[in-house]
Structure 1
Amino acid sequence: MSKRNRARRMSRQESAEASPGAIVAANDNRGAVHAFTFGDPEPVLSRATMLDMLECYHNQRWYEPPISLHGLARAFRASPHHSSAIILKRNMLAASLAPTQWLSRAAFKSMVQDYLVMGNAYAQEVRNRLGGLLRLDHALAKYTRRGVEPGRFWWVPGGGEAETEFTPRTVHQLQAPDVNQEIYGLPEYLSALQSALLNENATLFRRRYYENGSHAGYIMYATGEFADGDIDSMRDALKRSKGPGNFRNLFVHSPGGKEGGIKILPIAEVGAKDEFLGIKNTTRDDVLAAHRVPPQLLGIVPANAGGFGDVTKATDAFFELEIEPLQSVFLELNEALGVEAVRFRERVKAAA
């Protein structure tokens, strides 16, 4: 091979000039097929994975959470299956509680919901004048921050309001463990959060699809013989069918036309319908797998004739595998307080 045809390495300037288009010719043969690669360079580490490398930074007073708690609160209602699974666990845990003089069912219910949504729950001690424990109040996890010094917590409401510090060693934190840091807990459903958001996006897109009234639903392909002015009349009728009151019927009469002279070619309806159902079903399965909730407990209609099986057996298995481990998390408060503030009733299996 001669030196003229030998490939050489591009300089930095040439690489910078070629990077915006990222177009690389596969060969130099004239008259032959050319293949190109195009698109912007993709980073090996995306922004999502970079979050795993960050620690909880602090401002000398409290630590900031590794993930936006405001975003988790908004995502709570993104998907009906996501919120319904959390509400089911919350209601079953609250129903199994035996209220004590220190913990009410309402406060416990709020703490459970914070733990399932945010991965953190906070119980604040309220003591009497003699220093004895009077009751446990619920502190919203969305606005509670863990202090830099052990045993100290801060109330950070945002919105221009001043932050305040809780009385030291009166707030107890329950957290779902995280593999990257030990300051804050993270919810277990994070792996399915994108599926829940995609489920919401599919529903919103479908609503806009029917509300805008001006989407291209089909192509009207006319090849027959028409009298003068017929094409203009059909064009005007199609224009009037758009917007409010669309999907009108259209009558076309062509005496000299042939069979197949007018064809309707759908370009969006069939494909969008199949894609919509596939997205909804797939994302639903992802969310249910992350929450480990049997579908019959959420009122999902089975697609097959056999159904999902006995609902009582599914309830017993779900209570044993999910609710009882969650009960053990809140029983940790008893060890921190020195009193039996959290107590659960013994459950009788539904199948029995």
Structure 2
Amino acid sequence: MSESIPPDTVPATTNNTRMEAFTFGDPTPVLEHSEMLDSFECWLNGRWYEPPISFPGLAKSLNASVHHSSAIYFKTNILTSTFVPNKFLTRDAFKRFALDFLIFGNAYLEKRTSRSGLLLSLAPALAKFVRRGKELNSYYFVTGWQQEHEFAAGSIFHLIDPDINQEVYGVPQYLSALQSAWLNEAATLFRRKYYKNGSHAGFIFYMTDAAQNQTDVDSLRKAMRESKGPGNFRNLFMYAPNGKKDGIQILPVSDVAAKDEFFNIKGVTRDDVLAAHRVPPQLLGIMPNNTGGFGAVEPAARVFARNELVPLQAQFRALNDWLGQDVIQFTDYELSTMPTGVTS
């Protein structure tokens, strides 16, 4: 009967052991939006066309990055504040309409008329659930399997942010930044789980000085064990008579590298998202990392209003051409005016 090898025994390596080297293939992205949109058309299920990109996915991605959602809500709030409400389109209805357009690249208004054909109101239809029919002037509201409602023909106004691959639906302009938004979310979730788990290797307490006796070592071990839980991060005193300069060392294992990488990922992905939305960082309350800062706020706001807000307002005015009357009107974006009842 052969002797069993003790579990702590590590077998010695043989002379046949040799080093091997190999390389991985080229990096392959998990999702390639450009190739997806080039390869797939809007699929027709017999009654309506499916969007070229997942609308539920865009809705979930809204909260993937704080800068992504903040930039969208920032544009929505400015558009709403400059919109002139009227009896056909209220301010609340316009805000829903604008929010859908900035998130999905599609927005819908249902024209509700009287029996005589006069316009009564314009009600927003949630873009997440609206599908365009086989006849492009027909629209369906689809919330689930066999749960659809067909709108009356010609009653839906469809505002589209144009796509270069198809003309049935629009697509949002921030698609190129979704990878960065998802990476930002993944870094935050990983960091949160990293701290919540608590079982990661924080550091190695390395001691080479000879202790006076085993009791000193046991006391040090007990003090470190009791430093966990509520009231942790306490100071620890260690006395080593005749100790060497480097007799006691704290060797970090992974926290330093992970911390640096986390900040780099958060910073780079933030810049990508803001570049896609074309919103100056100082308008979102972001603090600069350098001493030079981002520059004055007012000039940045004026440039943003001219280069981004005015073109957006022009897109929404397409409703006036469809209706044949001016329902969408905006006031000028002024920084000097103060709301009624607000004093400086």
Q: TM-score, normalised by structure 1?
A: 0.83
Two-structure CA RMSD over aligned residues (Å): 2.5
Q: Paired residue for 1:328, among 314, 320, 324?
A: 314
In the alignment, is residue 48 of structure 1 matched against residue 32 of structure 2?
yes
Partner of 2:311, secondary structure, is helix
Deviation, 1:204, is 2.3
In the other structure, the counterpart of 1:270 is 256
Distance 2:222 2:168 in 1: 66
Per the TM alignment, residue 33 of structure 1 is displaced from its structure 2 partner at its CA by 8.0
> SS in structure 1 opposite 2:98?
helix
Distance 1:280 1:123 in 2: 37
Query: In structure 2, what is the equivalent of residue 215 of structure 1?
Result: 200
Q: What residue number does 2:170 align with?
A: 185
The match for 1:22 is none
Are residue 87 (structure 1) and residue 73 (structure 2) matched?
A: yes
- Counterpart AA for 1:323: L
Secondary structure in structure 2 of the residue aligned to 1:156 = strand
Moved more, 271-280 or 223-232: 223-232
Cα pair 1:175 1:185 within 8 Å, conserved: yes
DSSP-derived class of the 2:67 partner: helix
SS of 1:37 mapped into structure 2: coil
CA positional deviation for 1:267: 1.7
How many Å apart are 1:329 and its aligned residue? 0.9
Q: CA deviation at 1:135?
A: 1.0
Structure 2 residue identity aligned to 1:187 = P
1:289 shift after superposition: 0.5
Inter-partner Cα distance in structure 1 for 2:45 and 2:32:
24
* Paired position in structure 2 for 1:316: 302
SS of the residue aligned with 2:143? coil
Matched, 1:202 2:193: no
**Equivalent in the alignment of 1:282:** 268
Q: Does the CA-based 8 Å contact 2:305-2:333 persist in structure 1? A: no
Amino acid at match of 2:201: A
What is the DSSP-based 3-state SS (H/G/I as helix, E as strand, rest coil) of the residue aligned with 2:295?
coil
- Name the counterpart of 2:220: 234
Deviation at 1:63, TM superposition (A): 1.0
Determine if contact 1:101/1:341 at 8 Å carries over to the other structure: no
Gaps of 5+ in 1: 1-29
Residue 132 of structure 1 and its aligned partner are, at CA, apart by 1.2
Tell me by how many angstroms 1:280 deviates: 1.4
Q: Which amino acid aligns with 1:114?
A: D
Alpha-carbon distance, 1:191 to partner: 0.9
Deviations 1:306-346 (A, max 9, x none): 33222111111101100111111111111111111111124
The residue identity in structure 1 corresponding to 2:66 is P
Is this contact kept in 2: 1:213–1:246, CA < 8 A?
no
Stretch deviating more after TM superposition (68-77 or 198-207): 198-207
Q: Secondary structure at the match of 2:123?
A: strand
From 241, 265, 288, the counterpart of 1:302: 288
CA 1:100/1:136 → structure 2, altered by over 3 Å: closer, same or farther? same
* Structure 2 residue ranges without an equivalent (≥5): 1-14, 338-344
Tell me the SS of whatever aligns to 2:147: coil
Cα deviation for residue 145 of structure 1 reads 0.7
What is the alpha-carbon distance in structure 1 between the residues aligned to residue 32 and residue 244 of structure 2? 59
Taking structure 2 as the reference length, the TM-score comes to 0.85
Residue number among 234, 239, 243 corresponding to 1:248 in the alignment? 234
